Amino acid sequence: MSGTDHSSRSDEEIPRPLLDDEAWVAKAQRGDPEAFGELVTRHRRRAYQVALGMIGHPETAMDLTQDALLRAYQSLAHFRGDAKFSTWLRRIVTNVCLDHLRRAEHRVMAASYDDALGEGDDGGDAVRLTSTIESPDTGVSRKELGRAIMAAMGELTPEQRAALVLREIEGLSYEEIATTMGCATGTVMSRLHYARKRMQSLLREHHGR
Amino acid sequence: MDGDETMRAACETIDPLLSAFADGELFGSEREMIERHVAGCAVCRGTVETYRTVGLALREHVAAEAAVVSAALTWPPRRRAFRVPVLTPRRPLNYHVARRSHPWPVLAGAAALAMGVIGLATFRAEGPPANFVEIERVDASGPVLVLPGKGGQMTIIWVFEADERSAPEATAI
């Protein structure tokens, strides 16, 4: 991590926005009660986005995000700053979600997505969605497409979902995804390839029904 | 092999690389080869466009959903098992440990200062439940862990439900 020199003045004298994560982590590790709260404030939304992308169900994603935040809090003593705090937290969120998905035997997520899809169906979506996939600029709403995509996500393996979310939502490079997931870059490439082919196929099936 | 078959064969070869190509993760001659093919192949071009469209829609959908939740200062209740972290074993957490709040008896004629002194004495006498760390006393039915945010705003609170039979459970609010 980049080393910011705070030695010339105490943390208390530095305005909050100027303190970087590293400084807040150090304060939290010293037992400052506000410090971890600040880190939560900064990173909660991104953590939730990763969880939501992987899990699909808002309530469960929120649940798992808080699991991850708690796990981070409990493990803070072991955080040595070899990576950025955001990277470390992302890895925790990803692992918490992967554990959850692996425990869930079969496609609970897919079922919940199907329910969500049903809420907004007006009977004409299929044709319009098809045209959107084929031609991104046509008239179907992004929301409808988003719901269809999330439904298809439910059919991917946990590892494929994680790779896709880390790529599309977090914008990570293949190397960064590999580091986060603890696998080879080639594995990331393979997972993304199969994830996208599967998504493409599922979306076409969905449109055709 | 006619032109169509040649093109199809090229598509089959290139298809596994289109995802990485769409992500800008291919370089050098490999990238140039695919660029040339995609420029002349509507099918593969469509696949790349679809990958990008799906990625964008996924990103937008999740961001919109997350914005709703993230706007809230506090999150809905969640039960949690929780063990107190030992951040620095030689330097224990400098948190204020408070017992669960309970209604103070309203004693007519008792001075507020006297009540505070009595309350403090009571608090110290009872001490915290095992495995609980609390930072701030709040009006809750159980002990709490408060992680304050900017300017004293509460960021996240775990309220523990008293259950002596098992590990303490917490509820984040």
A14 touches chain B (CB under 8 A): no
pLDDT at position A81 is 86
pLDDT category of residue B115 using cuts at 50, 70 and 90: very low
Q: How close is the nearest chain B Cα to the Cα of A52, in Å? A: 7
- Which residues of chain B have a CB within 8 Å of the CB of A16? 150
Q: Inform me whether the pLDDT recorded for A152 exceeds 60.
A: yes
Q: Inform me whether the pLDDT recorded for B110 exceeds 50.
A: no
Contact A53 B62 (CB under 8 A): yes
Q: Which two tokens stand for residue A176?
A: 């960064």
Average pLDDT over residues A155-165: 96
Q: Are B97 and B128 in contact (CB under 8 A)?
A: yes
- C-alpha–C-alpha distance, residues A25 and A23, integer Å: 5
pLDDT at position A177 is 98
Q: How close is the nearest chain B Cα to the Cα of A197, in Å? A: 9
Q: What is the pLDDT of residues B120-167, one digit of tens each?
A: 434 333 444 444 444 444 444 444 455 544 554 444 445 443 333 343
Rounded to the nearest integer, the mean pLDDT of chain B is: 62
Nearest to B147 among A40, A75, A197 (CB): A40
pLDDT category of residue A105 using cuts at 50, 70 and 90: low
B142: left (phi over 0), alpha (psi -120 to 50) or beta: beta
- C-alpha–C-alpha distance, residues A98 and A181, integer Å: 10
pLDDT category of residue A41 using cuts at 50, 70 and 90: confident
- Which residues of chain A have a CB within 8 Å of the CB of B66? 45, 48-49, 52
Sign of the CA dihedral running A37, A41, A44, A46: negative
A11 touches chain B (CB under 8 A): no
- C-alpha–C-alpha distance, residues A28 and B93, integer Å: 9
Cα–chain-centroid distance for residue A7? Answer: 35
A77 touches chain B (CB under 8 A): yes
Q: Inform me whether the pLDDT recorded for A51 exceeds 60.
A: yes
- C-alpha–C-alpha distance, residues B173 and B171, integer Å: 6
Strand-strand pairing, B79-81 and B144-148 = unpaired
Question: A16 versus B112: which is more confidently predicted?
Answer: A16
Q: Inform me whether the pLDDT recorded for B34 exceeds 60.
A: yes
pLDDT at position B145 is 53
pLDDT at position A129 is 42
Tokens 């679809």 belong to: B50
- Which residues of chain A have a CB within 8 Å of the CB of B52? 136
pLDDT at position A109 is 52
Average pLDDT over residues A53-59: 90
Nearest residue in B to A48, CA atom: B66
Q: Which two tokens stand for residue B86?
A: 């030992």
Q: What is the pLDDT of residues A115-143, one digit of tens each?
A: 544 443 333 333 334 444 444 444 456 77
A122-126, A188-192, B24-28, B80-84 — which is least confidently predicted? A122-126
Q: How close is the nearest chain B Cα to the Cα of A139, in Å? A: 14
pLDDT at position A50 is 96
Mutate to test the interface with A, among B13, B15, B19 (most CBs of A within 10 A): B19
pLDDT category of residue B78 using cuts at 50, 70 and 90: very low
Does the model's pTM come out above 0.80? no
Nearest to A200 among B50, B88, B92 (CB): B50
Which residues neighbour A81 within 8 Å (Cβ) at sequence distance 6 or greater?
A: A1, A22, A25
A37 touches chain B (CB under 8 A): yes
Entry field: residues in chain B: 173
Contact A33 B25 (CB under 8 A): no
Q: How close is the nearest chain A Cα to the Cα of B87, in Å? A: 4
Contact B61 A62 (CB under 8 A): no
Q: How close is the nearest chain A Cα to the Cα of B109, in Å? A: 36
